[in-house]
Amino acid sequence: MAAEIFDRLQQILDEIKTASPRNAAEVEQFRIKYLGSKNILKPLMGGIREVANEQKREFGQLINTLKKTAEEKFQSLKTAAEQAAEQADAQQIDLTAPGHPRPLGSRHPISIIMKQIVDIFARIGFTVAEDREIEDDWHNFTAMNTPEDHPARDMQDTFYLKDSTHLLLRTHTSSVQSRVMKNTTPPIRIIAPGRVYRNETISARAHCQFHQVEGLYVDENVSFADMKQTLLYFAQEMYGPDTKIRLRPSYFPFTEPSAEMDVSCFICRGDGCNVCKYTTWVEILGCGMVDPQVLENCGIDSERYSGFAFGMGIERQAMLRYRINDIRLLFENDVRFLRQFTSAL
């Protein structure tokens, strides 16, 4: 009989040791079962009467061990449950907490100007054409009427790719003209923004990389008057409705006749200032009628079609508009500089 009581107590001890309540409610059940006022040990206490005298001490010790083990186990379960609850609380998202504001980016001044130019031409039916910056010399020079021995090649110092005689970094976006003309039957009406490269010594005024926007219009009966009107529309959209334009004769190998276009100074509006150097005019682009030879080079019948093209530098316009006095600032991406354009566009 006594042996059975000992077995039973031993069994309860094992139960206590292996119990693994999974939540607060089960921990509470554990406490009630082993430590509560009607705990499982109570009815067994009376069993001491059946235990032989020399075993009574052992019986008492076993009861104490049971109580102690249950108490210890309960304490550690309680702490663990509390910790788990705290952790769960911490992981809960407080939807009413204020957010962490993220700094708002801004457009780069070059992108602002390019986008404006592209948008203005898009409104009169020009679509964006983009092409490679690593170009071959056929598309950059030869097709554009600038053969190997042509002195005009000296006008542009070119970066050639290492170990290559014909791959180069395009020196102007006019290379896109030849790409598009070769693959498209007129009418062609494209605007080509992009980055170009020239081997220039870097200074406050010049950089070895800069941006241009090229325009090309090829169709039947395209005239110089069409070009002039298109460029006037552009100048007035870009620099205000009172803007005047002036075309000065110039030379480019790929246009004939060629011109450079000035706009009336958008800073002083005619009073004279140091941006226009007191001339009241600011030069912004090169243009001309596409040379018939260029059309032929690109597989377009020059008897049937004619066209005009223009190309403009972006850095210069950005520098004039925002009074940036060093071109290098446009390529350094110093946030203190870039932040100043947040409000623009």
Which residues contribute to the site for ligand PHE (CB under 6 A)? 172, 174, 214, 252, 255, 286-288, 309-311
Q: In which region does residue 174 sit, left (phi positive, over 0), alpha (psi from -120 to 50) or beta (all else)?
A: alpha
Structure tokens given for 30: 């554990």
Q: How many helices (H) and strands (E) does the chain have?
A: 12, 9
Buried b (16+ CB within 10 A) or exposed e, 48-57: eeebeeebee
Q: What is the Cα–Cα distance from 161 to 167, expressed in whole angstroms?
A: 6
> In the beta sheet, which residues pair with residue 209?
197
Q: What is the Cα–Cα distance from 264 to 266, expressed in whole angstroms?
A: 6
Residue of minimal Cβ distance to ligand PHE = 311
Pick the closer one to ligand PHE by CB: 239 or 252.
252
> Are the C-beta atoms of 324 and 109 separated by less than 8 Å?
yes
Please report how close the Cβ of residue 214 comes to ligand PHE at its closest, in angstroms.
Answer: 6
Pick the closer one to ligand PHE by CB: 67 or 195.
195
Pick the closer one to ligand PHE by CB: 212 or 280.
212
Please report how close the Cβ of residue 341 comes to ligand PHE at its closest, in angstroms.
Answer: 26
Please report how close the Cβ of residue 98 comes to ligand PHE at its closest, in angstroms.
Answer: 52
Please report how close the Cβ of residue 279 comes to ligand PHE at its closest, in angstroms.
Answer: 20
Please report how close the Cβ of residue 334 comes to ligand PHE at its closest, in angstroms.
Answer: 28
Pick the closer one to ligand PHE by CB: 282 or 287.
287
- State the angle between helix axes of 24-35 and 53-91 in degrees (0 to 180), rounded to the nearest 10: 160
